[in-house]
A and B are shown apart, each in its own frame.
Chain A
Amino acid sequence: MAEAPRMPIESGVPEMDNYLHPVLKKNYGAWSWHERPRPGVLHHVAKSGDDIWTVRAGTQRQMDVYTIRKLADIADEFAEGHVRFTIRSNIEFMVSKESMVQPLIDKLNSEGFPIGGTGPSVSMVSHTQGWLHCDIPGTDASGAVKALMDELHTEFTSEEMPNRVHITTSCCQINCGGQGDIAINIQHTKPPKIDHTQVANVCERPSVVARCPVAAIRPAMVNGKPSLEVDEKKCICCGACFPPCPPMQINDPEHSKFAIWVGGKNSNARSKPTFHKLVAAGVPNNPPRWPEVSDVVLKILNAYKGDAKDWERIGEWAERIGWPRFFEKTGLPFTKYHIDNWRGSRNTLNASTHIRF
């Protein structure tokens, strides 16, 4: 008789205690205050009087084992053997002595890891998988982010923005990259091209019909085979039909463009959380370095940096100066596509005489 298969140990999320830096473990829940002595470094002081310095470095997120081992070597030799990662894929090294900070920074810099991403800086772009691993990508993620972070390197390593800037990228309109101060997302501009020979084989047609936000898809017989058809006048090119039915080919090397959105904010600080808003579209999907994307992002960042008040996030700045001024200051064209026509959209219109001249 065959050996019984190994069943999984359904352990779930592990306890963090085994992985915590000892100073963090000792002072868990008992911290007093913090400061940022320089960009990329945090200094936290516990109620016990203990100190911990954190050095934050940017990574490429998709890391080879040699890079990870190198980071582990640095953590062992120049720090105290414990690291953590931020939500934006930055690595943090914790040390209990201030004297360890500079040698650690020097070592990380010499190995090519930028120090920064704290306070009013542009932190690492949070991103998705793209061509490397996703089954429905309109573009790559790691490459677009690498190219953009090359441009934003000094904004990562300095704290010269009015407030923190969180950028995200997404390879389709599902937007796995998430909300951001600036979000760079694929925006399809043409309805899907349907591979009618495949629909009946690989798609559960009723669920594809149900997936469409505008009821533009209906079952149809095409060339004697059960398939689907799209009312192209109704179609909003969102791509929602593609994941459940890959023959609904939405990705198009020419017509899948980038759209840029600004003003997403998850924090409750000052204003309530907000979603990002469309400011630019039709930006070409141009590997390997997507220069047109960087161009729009830099325009927005430069206008924000020059005009916003301290602590204002991009969305708060745009709300204060007004959206007409945002388009004026960034030089981005304002088009009919900026005016929402989805349900509830009247709430986004100016129902007042509040107008700046």
Chain B
Amino acid sequence: MAKPMYDTPMLDQLESGPWPSFVTGLKRLAKDNDMMVDLMGQLETSYETRKGYWKGGTVGVIGYGGGIIPRFTELKGEDGKPKFPEAAEFHTLRVMPPPGMHYDTGTLRKFCDIWEKYGSGLIAFHGQSGDIMFQGCSTDNVQPAFDEINEMGFDLGGAGPAVRTGMSCVGAARCEQSCVDEGRTMRTLVNNALDDMHRPALPYKFKYKVSGCPNDCMNSVQRADLATIGTWRDDMKVDQGEVKAFVADKGRKYVIDNVITRCPTQALSLNDDDTLAVDNRNCVRCMHCINVMTKALSPGDDKGVTLLCGGKRTLKIGDLMGTVIVPFHKMESDEDFEWLEELATEILDFFAENALEHERTGEMIERIGLTNFLEGVGLEIDPNMIAQPRMNPYVRTDGWEEEAAKWNERQAAQ
């Protein structure tokens, strides 16, 4: 039995309603766990005062410089002592899940046993970066908790100015739209950069995310420094028998309104015999028609990835999308994965050497210009990298002939 619970009239109001309640979970833990009793005391105080009471600090495990999020309470009485002493230390261990966040129940149970023994018993599946978050641990228990999790085959994720935990979609494990082995791609990227993850020394965070198709379920374009998105370059596959069956089932109007006219490049046409005509040269692989007609349409066979660099949220200069730096590359052979590993290392090294403090890759590229970045990491320019050519005339073009010759040479070589 733990110490008696505090009254929590505010939090109690979050126990009603149909959605599962985290408060009910906290209360269940608090029956046997003093840390949870005091955590609820502090959280209730936050609800009353509308203020947060945690500060960071330095807590780690031997051998690593990151991966633990230290939290010390700032909610103290006049005597300077914590008002809720059992939760005065409430650190989080960030732990990297397998790609696709798959688990067997035995693993989940082991996590629970470890966290019941060393921590608060509260685990978040998952944090916004994709970590399993073991929340609520005293400073003393961080090391033994990590040791047991680490012995299970799991490793700490990233925090601070470091390579962060990656994410990849369910992809090839269960999705027919997968155009790349997402798990292998993500592991290639992250596991090649573990030193920069576990020993934070970059200008700022660096994120890898992998989506198996342009639906980008991992939201990589908006938040990854290096987004790897599956795509294909041959014709998409059409099973005309299934197209006919779909039209017969849904009707011509539905198909015209929801498939044909929704194509962003008008690359689709419904034939008189209820088969589909596709202008594949103008298909931009947006995925819409494939999403609607899952049985009739699918990505082509010549699959690979598009790489986009520089996605991030607002601070400091404003939101930036990732933009194309590699329009297409095969991602099948060991050599393909080695190419990706080498390119990612180039980009990470360039970022480490050239970004200003607290600058993300997108901001760095904005500051130095895309062409300087590409030159720095050894990538050739490509018209797929732009939405449109420049509109302003403030540019020196005295190297034009040389640049045009380079382009012609590359075109001739293809």
Q: Which residue of B102, B155, B187, B286 is within 8 Å of A19 (Cβ)?
A: B102
Please tell me if the beta carbons of B20 and A112 are within 8 angstroms of each other in the complex: yes
A266: CB under 8 A from chain B?
Answer: yes
Shortest Cβ distance from B323 into chain A, in angstroms?
11
Please tell me if the beta carbons of A143 and B63 are within 8 angstroms of each other in the complex: no
Please tell me if the beta carbons of B25 and A84 are within 8 angstroms of each other in the complex: no
Please tell me if the beta carbons of B99 and A16 are within 8 angstroms of each other in the complex: yes
Please tell me if the beta carbons of B287 and A150 are within 8 angstroms of each other in the complex: no
Q: Which residue of B53, B61, B102, B153 is within 8 Å of A11 (Cβ)?
A: B153
Please tell me if the beta carbons of B174 and A266 are within 8 angstroms of each other in the complex: no
Residues of A within 8 Å of B360, CB to CB, are none
Shortest Cβ distance from A55 into chain B, in angstroms?
13
The chain B residue with its CB closest to the CB of A342 is B318
Shortest Cβ distance from B68 into chain A, in angstroms?
12
B343: CB under 8 A from chain A?
Answer: no
Instruction: Please report the C-alpha to C-alpha distance between residue A176 and residue B69 in the assembled complex, in whole angstroms.
Output: 15
The chain A residue with its CB closest to the CB of B176 is A31
Instruction: Please report the C-alpha to C-alpha distance between residue A140 and residue B43 in the assembled complex, in whole angstroms.
Output: 9
Please tell me if the beta carbons of B125 and A61 are within 8 angstroms of each other in the complex: yes
Residues of A within 8 Å of B135, CB to CB, are 62, 132-133
Instruction: Please report the C-alpha to C-alpha distance between residue A288 and residue B223 in the assembled complex, in whole angstroms.
Output: 30
Of B107-115, B344-352, B369-377, B394-402, the one touching chain A? B107-115
Q: SS class of chain A's interface: helix, strand, loop or mixed? A: loop
Of listed A29, A91, A344, residue having the most chain B CB within 10 A: A29
Q: Which residue of B10, B20, B102, B318 is within 8 Å of A21 (Cβ)?
A: B102
A134: CB under 8 A from chain B?
Answer: yes
Given A149-B19, A174-B315, A269-B291, A54 and B174 contact (CB-CB distance below 8 Å): yes
Q: Which residue of B28, B92, B183, B191 is within 8 Å of A12 (Cβ)?
A: B191
B384: CB under 8 A from chain A?
Answer: no
B81: CB under 8 A from chain A?
Answer: no
Residues of B within 8 Å of A52, CB to CB, are 174
Residues of B within 8 Å of A94, CB to CB, are 174
Shortest Cβ distance from A272 into chain B, in angstroms?
8
13 interchain pairs (CB within 8 A)? Answer: A8-B155, A13-B98, A28-B172, A62-B25, A67-B28, A126-B128, A133-B71, A133-B135, A143-B47, A146-B22, A267-B214, A311-B258, A343-B317
7 A-B pairs besides A11-B150, A65-B29 with CB distance below 8 A are A60-B19, A60-B21, A69-B112, A85-B103, A133-B135, A142-B22, A344-B318
Please give the residue numbers on chain A whose beta carbons come within 8 Å of chain B beta carbons, in ascending order: 5-16, 18-21, 24-25, 28-29, 31-35, 44, 52, 54, 58-69, 71-73, 75-76, 81-87, 89, 91, 94, 112-114, 126-140, 142-143, 146-147, 149-150, 153, 173-179, 207, 210-211, 213, 238, 240, 246, 251, 253, 256, 264, 266-271, 273, 275, 285, 287-289, 309-311, 342-344
Please give the residue numbers on chain B whose beta carbons come within 8 Å of chain A beta carbons, in ascending order: 10-11, 13-14, 16-23, 25-26, 28-29, 39, 43, 46-47, 49-56, 61-64, 69, 71, 90, 92, 96-109, 111-112, 115-116, 121-128, 130, 135, 146-147, 150-151, 153-156, 166-167, 169-170, 172-176, 178, 181, 183, 186-187, 190-191, 194, 197-198, 214-223, 257-258, 262-264, 284-288, 291-292, 294-295, 298, 313-319, 321, 357-358
